[in-house]
């Protein structure tokens, strides 16, 4: 089942850099401008904005990115990514140090972090191996069920996961003499990993594996006939997505210095889907846009609502309605709205035909 509208997506992706000039020249000026703004942000914004707004945006964006990678290129909408992130957070608390000294093993970071990522990736891979036995809508249901099983298990298990209260006091290491929980270092830390995972997804998209994955998404039978191992490609996609989600999960745990079952509860799991869908599942930048909207809304919703004369607790209503409106009118999220707007600008006002470069027809997702 095709999840996104590939007809138009491929047109933009398919454009190669011009043959002359180095690859640096092929980067559009908008990206340079965005990069400069992001790098110079600490000079412009205060600590709260850096730490709470942008730090959180990058982390949620990364988890959303792992969902986007699976959904956009693999055609598998997996709700288990937040649980993978939660697993990584738990493992870093268990193998590293936390305030719960009876459980935490207190390993140094260069051991606990890789082990945490490894275990989380193993978890994501096993969940993926179960989920790829199903297709389309079923994948959503099964991954949702796995995610809630993880939530209930962590809530009930006191020996390893410390039950309802989870772990607190999970702090990042004081590497290079920097306190990474300060606003500016944490901003750069999350920015670094967000950009790295974004670039990694961009690279994999054009790499043989990514192309094969997109082939599997569009026509698994044909890919199987061509000799590709469809199941292996799908499971490998889950593993790769789990790496991104695991790194984000560790950052998330360090940001709030705690991890508890609620971190990966059903609500947050759905929120990640909302983030990815609102941003757009077509391009890796989508989840970050969605995350920014979500974070800004959830941080300032109370102010907005009280400003409008409504009770501040109705923030879920605002998020839900916003999500509903976006899904209702633009299945491709904010990115879809942007492309629609650009396409309407290129359209000839008389004939209604495209006069720009040739773009594919407007196929709808789903069969």
Contact residues toward other proteins (CB under 8 A) are 1, 3, 77, 130, 133-134, 136-138, 140-142, 144-146, 148-149, 152-153, 156-157, 266, 270, 273-274, 277, 311, 313-314, 316-317, 319-321, 323-324, 327-328, 331, 364-367
Minimum CB distance to other proteins, residue 134 (Å)? 6
Give Cα separations from 42 to 186, 187, 261, 324 (angstroms). Answer: 11, 8, 33, 34
Q: Which residues contact 240 (CB under 8 A, 6 or more apart)?
A: 69, 204
Could you list the beta-strand ranges (E) of 52-211. Answer: 167-168
Which CB, 173 or 365, lies closer to other proteins?
365
Which CB, 128 or 172, lies closer to other proteins?
128
Contact (Cβ atoms closer than 8 angstroms) between residue 362 and residue 4: no
Please count the CA atoms within 13 angstroms of the CA of 47 that sit on its side-chain side. 4
Return the SS3 of 168.
Answer: strand
Q: DSSP character for 266?
A: H
Which CB, 250 or 339, lies closer to other proteins?
339
Q: Within 10 A of 193 (CB to CB), how many other CB atoms are there? A: 18
Distance CA 78, CA 221 (A): 21
Minimum CB distance to other proteins, residue 48 (Å)? 26
Give Cα separations from 311 to 96, 170, 300, 304, 315 (angstroms). Answer: 41, 34, 13, 10, 9
Please count the CA atoms within 13 angstroms of the CA of 214 that sit on its side-chain side. 20
Which CB, 135 or 179, lies closer to other proteins?
135
Distance CA 158, CA 163 (A): 4
Contact (Cβ atoms closer than 8 angstroms) between residue 294 and residue 278: yes
Minimum CB distance to other proteins, residue 151 (Å)? 9
Minimum CB distance to other proteins, residue 361 (Å)? 16
Minimum CB distance to other proteins, residue 136 (Å)? 7
Q: DSSP character for 12?
A: H
Which CB, 97 or 332, lies closer to other proteins?
332
Which CB, 93 or 147, lies closer to other proteins?
147
Which CB, 99 or 149, lies closer to other proteins?
149
Minimum CB distance to other proteins, residue 323 (Å)? 5
Minimum CB distance to other proteins, residue 2 (Å)? 9
Sign (positive or negative) of CA dihedral 179, 35, 74, 237: negative
């Amino acid at each position: 089942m095709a999840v996104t509208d590939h007809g138009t997506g491929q047109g933009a992706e398919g454009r190669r850099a011009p043959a002359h000039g180095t690859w640096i020249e092929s980067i559009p000026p908008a990206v340079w401008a965005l990069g400069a703004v992001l790098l110079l942000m600490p000079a412009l914004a205060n600590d709260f904005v850096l730490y709470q707004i942008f730090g959180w945006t990058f982390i949620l964006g990364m988890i959303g990115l792992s969902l986007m990678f699976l959904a956009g290129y693999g055609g598998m909408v997996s709700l288990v990514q937040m649980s993978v992130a939660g697993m990584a957070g738990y493992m870093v608390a268990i193998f590293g140090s936390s305030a719960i000294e009876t459980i935490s093993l207190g390993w140094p970071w260069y051991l606990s972090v890789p082990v945490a990522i490894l275990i989380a990736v193993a978890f994501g891979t096993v969940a993926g191996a179960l989920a790829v036995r199903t297709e389309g809508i079923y994948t959503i249901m099964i991954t949702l069920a796995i995610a809630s099983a993880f939530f209930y298990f962590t809530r009930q298990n006191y020996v390893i996961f410390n039950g309802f209260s989870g772990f607190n006091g999970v702090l990042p290491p004081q590497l290079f003499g920097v306190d990474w929980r300060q606003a500016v270092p944490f901003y750069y830390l999350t920015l670094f990993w967000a950009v790295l995972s974004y670039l990694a997804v961009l690279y994999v998209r054009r790499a043989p594996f990514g192309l094969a994955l997109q082939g599997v998404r569009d026509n698994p039978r044909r890919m199987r006939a061509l000799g590709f191992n469809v199941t292996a490609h799908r499971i490998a996609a889950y593993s790769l997505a789990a790496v991104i989600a695991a790194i984000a999960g560790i950052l998330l745990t360090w940001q709030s210095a705690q991890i508890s079952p609620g971190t990966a509860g059903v609500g947050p799991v759905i929120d990640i889907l909302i983030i990815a869908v609102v941003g757009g599942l077509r391009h890796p930048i989508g989840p970050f846009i969605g995350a920014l909207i979500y974070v800004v809304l959830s941080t300032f919703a109370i102010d907005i609502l009280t400003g409008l004369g409504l009770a501040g607790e109705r923030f879920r209503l605002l998020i839900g309605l916003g999500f509903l409106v976006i899904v209702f009118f633009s299945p491709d999220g904010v990115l879809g709205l942007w492309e629609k707007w650009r396409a309407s600008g290129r359209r000839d006002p008389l004939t209604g035909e495209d006069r720009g470069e040739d773009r594919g027809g407007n196929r709808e997702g789903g069969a």
